[in-house]
């Protein structure tokens, strides 16, 4: 079976929350739910760090403007994480397919991160919260 779908989807998800991807892949491998997960992602210290950072991101995502700063910092981290996970999923040989898998994972992570961060920035800079706009439109229509 080709590893490309797993590389692509894990890359895309890494652009949204890289720590959740590392944590879930590691847990799937450690519990035996997947045989495609490399040992590196299943190590206890990797799982602990990914879990703590996942919780930090969950909190940061709930605070306006902090979420935008978090996304700005992660403009570098998420694509690198997507590339790292993609290369790990492809193998450890350093061959051209491994490099290509890293590029696929990193580029899809960058694309999904750009969508997430751009949407968040638009919402945070809007003069009125989006929920108020929706309520206002509903009142106008109803």
Summarize pLDDT for 72-96 with one digit per residue, the tens.
898 889 999 988 888 888 876 566 6
Residue scoring higher pLDDT (28 or 113): 28
Residue 134: burial class (beta carbons within 10 Å; 0-12, 13-18, 19+)? exposed
Query: What pTM value is reported for the model?
Result: 0.74
Q: Could you read off the pLDDT of 12-60 as tens digits, one per residue? A: 898 889 999 999 999 999 999 988 888 999 999 999 999 999 999 999 9
Q: What pLDDT, on the 0 to 100 scale, is given for residue 44? A: 96
Q: Does the pLDDT value for residue 1 go beyond 50?
A: no
Element (H, E) at 50: helix 44-60
Contact 7, 84 (CB under 8 A): no
Other CB atoms within a 10 A radius of the CB of residue 90 amount to 22
Find, among 24, 7, 28, the residue nearest to 109 by Cα.
7
């Amino acid at each position: 079976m080709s590893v490309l779908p797993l590389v692509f989807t894990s890359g895309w998800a890494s652009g949204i929350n890289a720590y959740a991807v590392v944590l879930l892949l590691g847990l799937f491998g450690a519990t035996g739910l997947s045989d495609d997960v490399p040992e590196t992602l299943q190590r206890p210290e990797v799982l602990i760090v990914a879990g703590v950072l996942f919780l930090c991101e969950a909190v940061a995502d709930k605070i306006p403007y902090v979420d935008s700063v978090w996304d700005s910092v992660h403009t570098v981290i998420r694509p690198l994480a997507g590339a790292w996970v993609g290369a790990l999923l492809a193998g450890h040989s350093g061959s051209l397919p491994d490099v290509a898998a890293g590029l696929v994972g990193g580029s899809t992570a960058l694309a999904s991160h750009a969508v997430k961060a751009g949407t968040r920035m638009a919402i945070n800079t809007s003069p009125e919260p989006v929920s108020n706009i929706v309520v206002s439109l509903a009142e106008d229509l109803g």
